[in-house]
Amino acid sequence: MDLLLAYGVDWLNLLVRWLHLITGIAWIGASFYFVWLDNSIRPPKPGSDLAKKGVSGELWAVHGGGFYNPQKYLVSPEELPADLHWFKWEAYATWLSGFALLFIVYYFNASAMMIDKSVADLSQWQAIGVGLGTLLLGWTVYDLLCRSPLGQKEGLFGIVMFVFIVAVAFVLTKLLSGRAAYIHVGAMIGTMMVGNVLMLIIPGQRKLVEAMEQGKSPDPIHGKKAKQRSVHNNYFTLPVLLIMISNHYAMTYSHQYSWALLGAIIAAGVLIRHFFNLRHHGRQAWGFPAAGVAILIAVAVFIAPRPAPKPVAVAPTAEGAAAGVATDTGPVAKAPDFARVQEIVTARCVSCHAAQTTQPGFATAPAGIMLDKPELIHQHAAKVNQQAVALKAMPIGNMTNMTPEERAEIGAWFAAGAN
């Protein structure tokens, strides 16, 4: 029954992840398009018919074999159109599917996916509480800052929000597993984004429409507030996308300074996004993408794997004397034989990485990597060394309690040729 349940959860994971991807593309596509449109439209000539109609800008474009002429009104048209399209369900569906995915992947199996005993000895409910609390805290702080006088100072507001997000990342890396910490920073930002749509953008648009329906002149302040939040969402997008795929790259979330790496990558994404926004205004500010790329290169160099120290002849610890494992002063000269490595892998890895998994919550081997046969251990030796020794990202949350000595033994075996 446990295996069937895990298999069903895997299928649910796939389908909800697919839905999240589809709706996310729709939301991001609409967001990017309208920010581009807003930055690219040009004001009509003074005294022209468009200017007299209250049009603040227009744009001519060609796409898919047709010509398009979108126009933006300074506040509103003279009459409310009979058919008015709203952009909201893309955002709502993206957040709802994302929250469902958060529950399926992380909360349903919190002991494996959220808890790392070497970081903090939390219960499952405590870990879930930290995750949910992060979403609520993020929206509350962000919304209060937007409504404060700071919200009118774009540059300073951006710096404060960046510091806040990095601070949250730092705290989460001290409470949750690296992977869970990253995904909850992304979920927090995503919650800010959908909160903007639900609480500010759509209500503001409704007030504009209601005023026109009542024959009143709409208050332009609602449009200004909605635009501010739309622009914020535009800058939030690239960091969220990065975090969505970060679970594939343990070199980031498993790093000692994972919170700082995340902050640097977020900064690079914002700088690159800012370049495109300026470019749509007709400004070529190449310094921003150059700075963004420089940050990414610096991050890549900083987290690049370092050569393992050369073996030195020292006395091994009592626990690893038989196999010649590492001590506090460095690795020993003698590498363990394959039988010992297989023993470690079987005890610490095979519960998940096998044709028939035994670890609760896992119906199939993660990433399809199986280690339940000698030839498979040899085949994936480099991956085992990378994930278990160099990055210490596996086992997930070290839920099978692989010891530092066992990691050192695998590392010594791999360095000696993995025979």
Residue 18 neighbours by CB under 8 Å, 6+ apart:
none
Q: Where does the pLDDT of residue 266 fall: very low under 50, low under 70, confident under 90, or very high at 90 and above?
A: very high
With the C-alpha atoms ordered 303, 173, 232, 239, is the resulting torsion angle positive or negative? positive
pLDDT at 247: 86
CA distance 202 to 21: 23
pLDDT at 356: 86
For residues 262-289, average pLDDT: 90
CA distance 44 to 126: 58
For residues 230-234, average pLDDT: 93
CA distance 174 to 351: 27
Most confident by average pLDDT, 5-14, 169-178, 401-410: 169-178
Give the least confident one: 22-31, 34-43, 199-208, 314-323: 314-323
* pLDDT for 312 beyond 60: no
Give the least confident one: 17-26, 353-362, 405-414: 353-362
Element (H, E) at 66: strand 66-68
pLDDT at 306: 64
* pLDDT for 388 beyond 70: yes
Task: Read off the amino acid at residue 156.
Answer: L
The closest alpha carbon to 97, from 29, 13, 185, belongs to 13
Q: Is 71 helix (H, G, I), strand (E, B) or coil?
A: strand
Rounded to whole angstroms, what are the CA distances from 265 to 233, 299, 389?
Answer: 17, 8, 25
141 contacts 129 by C-beta, under 8 angstroms: no
pLDDT at 184: 97
* pLDDT for 163 beyond 80: yes
Q: Where are the domains of the chain?
A: 2-40+85-266, 318-415
pLDDT at 219: 87
pLDDT at 307: 59
Share of the chain above pLDDT 70, in %: 93
pLDDT at 324: 47
- Please write the tens of the pLDDT for every residue from 104-162: 999 988 988 899 888 999 999 999 999 999 999 999 999 999 999 999 999 999 999 99
Most confident by average pLDDT, 59-68, 74-83, 300-309, 359-368: 59-68
CA distance 381 to 419: 10
Share of the chain above pLDDT 90, in %: 50
200 contacts 225 by C-beta, under 8 angstroms: yes
Q: Where does the pLDDT of residue 366 fall: very low under 50, low under 70, confident under 90, or very high at 90 and above?
A: confident
CB burial of residue 331 (10 Å; 0-12, 13-18, 19+): buried
CA distance 127 to 105: 14
Residue 159 neighbours by CB under 8 Å, 6+ apart:
none
Rounded to whole angstroms, what are the CA distances from 13 to 1, 4, 6, 103?
Answer: 18, 14, 10, 10
* pLDDT for 332 beyond 60: no
pLDDT at 315: 43
pLDDT at 52: 81
Q: Where does the pLDDT of residue 347 fall: very low under 50, low under 70, confident under 90, or very high at 90 and above?
A: very high
Tokens, residue 165: 């997000």
pLDDT at 168: 97
For residues 219-223, average pLDDT: 86
- The β-bridge partners of 71 are 58
| Average pLDDT over all residues of the chain | 87
CA distance 209 to 213: 6
- Please write the tens of the pLDDT for every residue from 243-254: 999 888 888 988
